[in-house]
Structure 1
Amino acid sequence: MKNPDGSRLAKQRAKCFHCPHTYLCDTKSNGTSNMRNHLFYHCKKCPLYIPSKKQKNLVWDSAENEGKLIAKGFNEDVAKLALARMVVRDELPFSFIEGD
């Protein structure tokens, strides 16, 4: 990467081809692991992306299924859909989900 005026940056940076993220890429101090990790584990647009297999959470299943303890992983898309359904079903204002 270069500055907008065409001059070199003080510290070399590389830009992901799939998203706007940039990373330090000096061969002696930074290496290429940060870009590789970004492509494999963070950049969902990259064809090399591997979905995270994080540790699952233990939760109590619903009463209909005898309330057993099961392991469930978090899925952001499922959570967003459930949140949208809650807002529509309970007629909540959109400000209910805004903020941190």
Structure 2
Amino acid sequence: MTENSNIEVAGMSISTQLSSPPSGVRKNRSAVWDHFDVENATEKKAKCKYCGSLIQYGNRTSSMGDHLRRCKQNPNNDSNKRRKITTTPTIDERSVLNSPGASKFDKEEARRALVKIFIREELPFCFVESPKFRIFVHALQARFKVPSQTTLARDIGALYAEEKMKLQDFLSANCGRVCLTTDTWTSIQNFTYMSLTTHFVDLNWKLHKKKYLIFVK
């Protein structure tokens, strides 16, 4: 039910429509009505804007307020906010939790991942024996035994030999020529390094680029 009202502002007459509250609801209505629509004024039923539930409001809105506090779809509900913050994983977390290996521990796979981190980030071997690093790894996976730097160096050498063999097999099977680019420099410790970059086209005419870091005595 609506009624027209004329308002004069600075000599101008503006016609507006004012919405009347539903039958049985006081004009100085409760803020709870911001979350409900009147579904049936005769039967005094209101519809929740979030979940669509019909609530009998009578002459009081306490039942509507109780529903809002329990409504799982209500974004303003503090318990729903806390539940969303504490239980909703991020995209990265979901990918880890849903991965096949999330519930099992593979010692060899963990050792291999550790080796790849040290190679990719160019970390010194002694870092693996850092007490802080070992505490961190133990907190992540107590069953993983962090190797010594001697064992780590041996694992890196084994991975290098494995990848070298794979590359040789790939080059012999997919291409006849490669283009090599080299660059050398000396570190502040007076160690000489050489960077080797290879470009080649495979049998499917796909261009490949691989870069290697070589220590030269």
TM-score clears 0.5? no
Larger Cα Rg: Structure 1 or Structure 2? 2
Q: What TM-score does the superposition give when structure 2 sets the normalisation length?
A: 0.15
Say which structure, 1 or 2, has more relative contact order (CA 8 Å, 6+ apart): 1
Q: Which of the pair is proportionally richer in strand?
A: 2
